[in-house]
Structure 1
């Protein structure tokens, strides 16, 4: 690897390209064994680049010339293949974000040219037409969706590093989009009774009962089969999910769990399972089929109207309501984590930690109670010492005649 003068030969004679183009050329063999070169206008530039190439070869970060032309769309298949173990719903979500947001903006870009400030500015300006009436302006993408897209971009670039397309991920260490705490709606007893009363069929009412009293995700409840019910242990096994079209899928966390049932819910589900095969749906629709999102959404929208509740309420709020009631009843973080199927107690606390605020009130009162008790104990000790002192003083008095 040396710096070559393209204008002069070793003896000082002019070359055929003397005075044409850049004069100085650095030639080297990259880590893949390929001969490559780069030209510069000045010898200082060439010498500096030559030194940097030697350093990069020494530490293994030198990228071959052909890899510098790799585009992000060429990294995408390898990155998606690396997610082979995820739930199908998550996989489809990744594909959607790639097709809608990432590919149009970055798919044809050379990976080596992607810079952190460009990605940050792009994420901040992301918009979507999802849920926007026709003819209106697009709305900004939510903070949680921006974070997911940012995570995908970072993951794609990390994959490029592993494929030795770039030496380092330009997004490493940058601040991720801030996700505002979600506004959750917790139904009160009157609202719960109203929505249950609005159910026009036994199948719909039983689905509502399960969601309100177990905290299952909607897809998990739809995917329950008769064999998942354990009457003796009063447990329901969560082993699968179903997608919007009612097709079987893995659970969101890919972990299985057992959820407790009350005695009443156990009896209701035992009745629903009677005379059914183990593989039959435990909570089918009115036709005996697995619930699809379209079918349930139509039922749900009518339920809200008939119950006199706001039509913006989502079915997922029943899960939040179930958790709020469990916490109000004294369930600790570990129990709620297992009930919800969260990956960690941190997730549970981040989502529902505010519902334990009653414990904060009790802690504050406990401090006051403790202080009062300590003061009373100290006063009692002081009174006893004073009493002993008086008794000892009387014992030393002598009668004077």
Structure 2
């Protein structure tokens, strides 16, 4: 590594300096160095101080193993996309489609043509905070801010891409390492009461629709999981449904959200209903098809759902997913513990279950309050008994002392 003066050349024999052909043209000082991959390269500067500072920095970075070659400093964010997406072949197809949507709608337009080496933490934080969407906004309307959960997903994806850049030795470290994640507020879940449940079931006049509602309300399945059930997934003897697949918006089979399989319990009544539905049918056929015998698509179910809400007199903003929350709330009210609910919902851990539904175990809070009262009462009685025994001993001691004196 050397700092070279491009405006002057030195005669090797005499040591005399003379002006070069580049004198007065362009930057004067050049730093020549070899990067960690053995590539010879150089960078020019206007002043000797800048060149010396860069030269010293190159020496430090080579010692630390963080020196990036000149060609890699030119890598654009869009060049990371395909290598990064290739590492996500294990995710569910729906998740993969979400990544592609995030990239095309939010990341690529802002960061695609940016050099990876020039990305700074504060720029990304400001960008994430200002993310908006036009989805569901009327024509001519103002874009709405994305939810905290959506911002977090996009930030996590972009952060993962930058981590991939580190592994590809494009940058020495991610500018987002140690950055705080967008806050995700607690979602306001809606739990249907018994009157609303009955109204919804009464509004379902078609048997296929009513059976789908029954399953969602009494098992806590995700909608895609219920759509993806096949006749062979019903185990009447064990009273179980085997959850092995999901169905996407277009009715195509996909992996489950967590890519994990599980068994979900059924009541005796649900077993009878599903047995009647499955009787005489091909084991590979869908257990809960639409009224035409085909797999449910999101577009078809959305029309049915909107009509159900209107006929049942429920608010139009209610989502089908709230049936899952309602099922969990009923299971907890019936005495199910956290581990049972975890298995029923297919959560990765009990922590996820508690974060989502911990507030529903209110009877535990009531018990804790009563336990405190019982403990206080018990302690008072114990102390009173102790004091009574102590007073009795003192009294007995005084009587013995009087007898001795007499």
- The TM-score with structure 2 as length reference comes to 0.94
1:318 pairs with 2:323: yes
Q: How much is the aligned-residue C-alpha RMSD, in angstroms? A: 1.7
Q: Per the alignment, in what secondary structure is the counterpart of residue 288 of structure 1? A: coil
Of residues 303, 309, 314, the one that matches 1:309 is 314
Distance 2:120 2:166 in 1: 14
Residue 358 of structure 1 deviates from its aligned partner by 2.6
1:329 match: 334
2:133 match: 128
The 10-residue stretch of structure 1 (313-322 or 103-112) with the greater mean CA deviation from structure 2: 103-112
1:3 match: 3
Q: What whole-Å deviation, never above 9, does each CA across 1:161-193 have from its counterpart, x for those lacking one?
A: 111111110111111111111010000011001
Residue 279 of structure 1 deviates from its aligned partner by 0.8
1:353 pairs with 2:396: no
Residue 394 of structure 1 deviates from its aligned partner by 7.2
Q: What whole-Å deviation, never above 9, does each CA across 1:340-361 have from its counterpart, x for those lacking one?
A: 1111111111111111233112
The 10-residue stretch of structure 1 (146-155 or 388-397) with the greater mean CA deviation from structure 2: 388-397
Q: Map of 1:94-133 to 2, 5 A cutoff?
A: 94-133=99-138
Distance 1:115 1:393 in 2: 85
2:13 match: none
1:149 pairs with 2:157: no
Of residues 203, 209, 213, the one that matches 1:208 is 213
Distance 2:191 2:266 in 1: 20
Of residues 13, 17, 21, the one that matches 2:22 is 17
Residue 140 of structure 1 deviates from its aligned partner by 0.9
Q: Per the alignment, in what secondary structure is the counterpart of residue 9 of structure 1? A: strand
1:33 match: 38
Of residues 64, 76, 83, the one that matches 2:81 is 76
1:170 pairs with 2:175: yes
Q: What whole-Å deviation, never above 9, does each CA across 1:258-310 have from its counterpart, x for those lacking one?
A: 11111111121112111112111111111111111111111111111111100
Distance 2:45 2:6 in 1: 10
Distance 1:384 1:232 in 2: 63
Q: Per the alignment, in what secondary structure is the counterpart of residue 91 of structure 2? A: coil
Q: Per the alignment, in what secondary structure is the counterpart of residue 60 of structure 2? A: helix
Of residues 218, 223, 226, the one that matches 2:223 is 218
Residue 389 of structure 1 deviates from its aligned partner by 6.7
2:164 match: 159
Distance 1:251 1:122 in 2: 32
Q: Map of 1:286-305 to 2, 5 A cutoff?
A: 286-305=291-310
Distance 2:363 2:276 in 1: 37
Distance 1:226 1:18, change over 3 A: same
Of residues 192, 200, 204, the one that matches 1:195 is 200
Q: Per the alignment, in what secondary structure is the counterpart of residue 208 of structure 2? A: helix
1:244 pairs with 2:249: yes
Residue 224 of structure 1 deviates from its aligned partner by 0.5
2:69 match: 64
Residue 14 of structure 1 deviates from its aligned partner by 1.6
Distance 1:288 1:30 in 2: 64
The 10-residue stretch of structure 1 (279-288 or 246-255) with the greater mean CA deviation from structure 2: 279-288
Distance 1:386 1:154 in 2: 71
Distance 1:91 1:66 in 2: 30
Q: What whole-Å deviation, never above 9, does each CA across 1:123-150 have from its counterpart, x for those lacking one?
A: 1111111011112111111111111111
Q: Per the alignment, in what secondary structure is the counterpart of residue 13 of structure 1? A: strand
Distance 1:205 1:376 in 2: 58
Unaligned runs of 5+ in 1: none
Distance 2:77 2:301 in 1: 39
The 10-residue stretch of structure 1 (63-72 or 370-379) with the greater mean CA deviation from structure 2: 370-379
- The TM-score with structure 1 as length reference comes to 0.95
Number of matched pairs: 398
Residue 223 of structure 1 deviates from its aligned partner by 0.4
Distance 1:394 1:7 in 2: 116
2:144 match: 139
